[in-house]
Structure 1
Amino acid sequence: MTSDHRRIDAPKLGEPYLLTPGPLTTSYEVKEAMLRDWGSWDDDFRAMTREMRTRLLALLGPGAEDFDCVPMQGSGSFSVEAMLGSFIPKDGKVLVLANGAYGQRSAQTMAYLGRDHIVLDKGDYLPPRGAEVAQILADDPAITHVVAIHCETSSGILNPIDEISEATYAAGRKLLVDSMSAFGAIDLRPSDIRFEAMVSSANKCIEGVPGFGFIIARKSELEAARGNSHSLSLDIHAQWAAMEKTGQWRFTPPTHVVAGFLEALRAHEAEGGVAGRGARYTRNRDVVVEGMRGLGFETLLDDRWLSPIIVTFFCPADPNFEFSRFYDLMKAKGFIIYPGKLTVVDSFRIGCIGQMDEHVMRQVVTAAKATLNDMGVASAAPPAAALKERAKLAA
């Protein structure tokens, strides 16, 4: 898909660009693929499900033969809960690594499930590090599993999964990865980074639409999960066993979403797979960060932790800046940005994923500059207290 096609795709349909971590701006071809109806029991749809599972496994690269892919209806959080409830034994104990809303959501899920757990909470600015994980595991031999977020989109931080994995397996424990907003654009190869299972969803870096998530897990873990789930509908072993036996989903699948997702997977391959998709997103990030900093905005994170998925910016201290008005004016210019989700300071986020390229990101910066002028904001600099807090926590 060419850069020019991405530049005209959203305006062609009269839609604003979605600068979010998903749902995101999709191609016309993905939308078009959803115009046909499919029978969930039909051989054609079962073949689509097989192709989808095979293509997703191929994204793992070397070592994929030890894994299988199980799609699960619902949002990404459904699949995260399915993973936690299916692979963590009822008598297990979990170390949840949190540095934002999605790590906290995993901890909340563990509480709902009644599974024993502890949380390493790093706040909004910093990632959990391997040495910290190693120390906690050494101090608590009852811990059986570690749960990590690959890209924490509440801040935009890319967590060091490699060193987390190394610490986990050096201590003889197991790692489960929420790669919701990273898989498909950032490598997660089992030949390089060991894990037992990971989850993602259709409406993230593969550039499909919402409707299902998917769990990629070691076959040995899938087999061992029989009877472990707390839930009928979120039982990964039961879903996997049914698909292996019949090729069908246990309950009504999102047929149109699967059709669109297959088209997105083919486009992903044509772009160069994980490396090609990741390179475009990285360029998107670099362009928007440089441009917004040129306007006076500050990023929440130091450069080394910035992901190519989404970037968090501090809200300006200027009294004329009001986020709701900034949002509305940006939307009127064709760009839907994302509110902040931090616990300490006011912020907003700009997503780098979806059917966008660097040309679109330059338009985003131009729109932001015009919007500041419209609002009478003289400076986009954040409050001094926000910078002080960042410096203190990053020290």
Structure 2
Amino acid sequence: MPLDAFREHVLLTPGPTPIHPRALQAMTRPMLGHMDPEVFALNREIQADLRVMYGTEPEGFTALLAGTGSLGMEAGFANLVEAGDEVLVCANGSFGRRMAEMAARYGARVHLVTAPLGEAVRPEDVATQLEMVQDLRMVAVVHGETSTGVLNPVPEIAELVRGTGALLAVDAVTTAGMEPFHMAEWGVDYAYTGAQKCLSAPPGVAPVAISDRALSRYGARHTPTPLWYCDFEGLRDYWTRHTYHHTVPVNLHFAFHAALQAALDEGMETRQRRVQRVGDAILSALTPLGFSPYVRRPQDRLPTVLALRLPDGFDDAGVRQALRVREISVTGGLGPTAGVIWRLGLMGEAARPGPYRTLMAALEDVLGARGLVARFDEALEGVLA
């Protein structure tokens, strides 16, 4: 069946995102073996592009894990944490809590810095814990908490961690690839994301970046890495030494390469402005209906996942089902915020006026609320002016 025969679906979720056309085309190429010289050449380009995206040191180690962003999260703890290590996790949402659970499963003594849902982790709370915990092995923080639409102050946290001897691991799943990320400048030791988020590639690979300091700490482990599949040494066997470790998803590499190059061609600052522009227009259109930002402080709002508190009496499940019948997917809250918020994805190809203009037109029909499209377009024109 030709690609254009499939019915178009408007995907406005906080992941996965619509596949970039260049990535979709790359998926159709004939299969090559994972040890083919052309694939190794492709991988070298991916590594170089990831250094740019993450802002690593010039020769920083980057790679793709054969899995989604959650594998990126787990690989960090599996390789950099041993039983009994002291680990500080910033947890103000579902994915911060997942970090804490993973660290505990690998035997870490986990200490938490928390914040109420919808609020960013406070650097002063991190500073307090850094003073209290001795021999800290790692600090882990989610940059953009997908579950609540909160942006945590990673640069400020990184400055506090610098000089403590602890490694800093950052979940960049909803930030890297859509906004500037400065790994080396900030002092981040391990970062990861998912291909299906800001880069609009198919799910199935997790781009990671590992600092020299983290690799040195890994080399000083007392016990083997318990997760064989993503052992850092095995990764380097394949990505650097070009020896067999496991079979990588070759066509996903080609698709990811195309999507990443498209993002770098556009530029992170341009993508950042695109997100802000569309997000502001959505808010302008929906505010008169009673929608409001779930995250109170503007500086704490994650641009790539717009969390909106629903109007009083709003039929969350019913409206989303009515939209789904119209081939539009919108995501509600997760856990405690279910029925309280919508989480609108503004990553990659979703952060375009077209898909959200389609949403506004559908909501006019479903809610009987006229003027949404006009307000959306007027706000976009105002931003452009």
TM-score bin, normalised by smaller chain: 0.7 to 0.9
Q: Is the 8 A contact 1:134 1:171 kept in 2?
A: no
Deviation at 1:247, TM superposition (A): 6.1
Q: Cα deviation per residue 1:243-278 (whole Å; 9 max; x = unaligned)?
A: 211166x21111111111111112112212x21222
Q: Is the 8 A contact 1:340 1:347 kept in 2?
A: yes
Normalising to structure 2: TM-score of the pair? 0.87
Q: Cα deviation per residue 1:107-127 (whole Å; 9 max; x = unaligned)?
A: 111122121111122131211
The residue correspondences of 1:362-381 to structure 2 (distance < 5 A) are: 362-373=357-368
- Distance, in Å, in 2 between the alignment partners of 1:50 and 1:166 is 31
Which sits farther off after the overlay, 151-160 or 321-330? 321-330
- Distance, in Å, in 1 between the alignment partners of 2:279 and 2:109 is 38
Which residue is equivalent to 1:243?
A: 239
Which sits farther off after the overlay, 63-72 or 50-59? 63-72
Which residue is equivalent to 2:33?
A: 39
2:137 aligned to 132, 144, 165, which one? 144
Q: In structure 1, what residue type is equivalent to 2:293?
A: T
Which residue is equivalent to 2:378?
A: none
Deviation at 1:342, TM superposition (A): 4.4
Q: Is the 8 A contact 2:308 2:343 kept in 1?
A: yes
- Distance, in Å, in 2 between the alignment partners of 1:89 and 1:116 is 10
The secondary structure found in structure 2 opposite 1:125 is coil
Q: Is the 8 A contact 1:298 1:313 kept in 2?
A: yes
CA 191–114 in structure 1, closer or farther in 2 if over 3 Å, else same: closer
The secondary structure found in structure 2 opposite 1:176 is strand
Q: Is the 8 A contact 1:66 1:218 kept in 2?
A: no
2:51 aligned to 51, 57, 71, which one? 57
Deviation at 1:28, TM superposition (A): 2.5
Which residue is equivalent to 2:183?
A: 190
Which residue is equivalent to 2:308?
A: 313
Q: Cα deviation per residue 1:277-332 (whole Å; 9 max; x = unaligned)?
A: 222122221111221213221221122222221112223332xx432221121123
The secondary structure found in structure 2 opposite 1:71 is strand
1:22 aligns with 2:15: yes
Q: Is the 8 A contact 1:124 1:342 kept in 2?
A: no
Which residue is equivalent to 1:230?
A: 226
Which residue is equivalent to 1:349?
A: 343
1:84 aligned to 77, 82, 104, which one? 77
- Distance, in Å, in 1 between the alignment partners of 2:274 and 2:210 is 28
1:174 aligns with 2:170: no
Which residue is equivalent to 2:260?
A: 265
Which sits farther off after the overlay, 219-228 or 25-34? 219-228
Which residue is equivalent to 1:387?
A: none
Deviation at 1:344, TM superposition (A): 5.3
Q: Is the 8 A contact 1:85 1:228 kept in 2?
A: no
Deviation at 1:168, TM superposition (A): 1.3
Normalising to structure 1: TM-score of the pair? 0.85
Q: Is the 8 A contact 2:19 2:202 kept in 1?
A: yes
Could you list the runs of 5+ residues in structure 1 that have no partner in the other structure? Answer: 1-9, 375-395
Deviation at 1:22, TM superposition (A): 1.7
Q: Cα deviation per residue 1:181-222 (whole Å; 9 max; x = unaligned)?
A: 110112221353111111112111121110110220112322
The secondary structure found in structure 2 opposite 1:285 is helix
The secondary structure found in structure 2 opposite 1:225 is helix
- Distance, in Å, in 1 between the alignment partners of 2:162 and 2:185 is 13
Q: In structure 1, what residue type is equivalent to 2:218?
A: A
Which residue is equivalent to 1:115?
A: 108
Q: Is the 8 A contact 1:130 1:166 kept in 2?
A: no
Q: Cα deviation per residue 1:64-122 (whole Å; 9 max; x = unaligned)?
A: 22521022111110111001111224342111001110000001111221211111221
Which sits farther off after the overlay, 259-268 or 138-147? 138-147
CA 32–242 in structure 1, closer or farther in 2 if over 3 Å, else same: closer
The secondary structure found in structure 1 opposite 2:241 is helix
Q: Is the 8 A contact 2:118 2:149 kept in 1?
A: no
The secondary structure found in structure 2 opposite 1:114 is coil
Could you list the runs of 5+ residues in structure 2 that have no partner in the other structure? Answer: 370-385
CA 299–233 in structure 1, closer or farther in 2 if over 3 Å, else same: same
Deviation at 1:16, TM superposition (A): 1.4
- Distance, in Å, in 2 between the alignment partners of 1:110 and 1:316 is 38
The secondary structure found in structure 1 opposite 2:98 is helix
Q: In structure 2, what residue type is equivalent to 1:22?
A: G
CA 368–21 in structure 1, closer or farther in 2 if over 3 Å, else same: same
The secondary structure found in structure 1 opposite 2:61 is strand
Which sits farther off after the overlay, 21-30 or 105-114? 21-30
Q: Is the 8 A contact 1:127 1:157 kept in 2?
A: yes
1:200 aligned to 181, 193, 196, which one? 193
- Identical columns (%): 24
Which residue is equivalent to 1:48?
A: 42
Q: In structure 2, what residue type is equivalent to 1:323?
A: D
- Distance, in Å, in 1 between the alignment partners of 2:20 and 2:274 is 15
Which residue is equivalent to 2:287?
A: 293
Q: Cα deviation per residue 1:322-366 (whole Å; 9 max; x = unaligned)?
A: 322211211233421112114256222111123141243233233
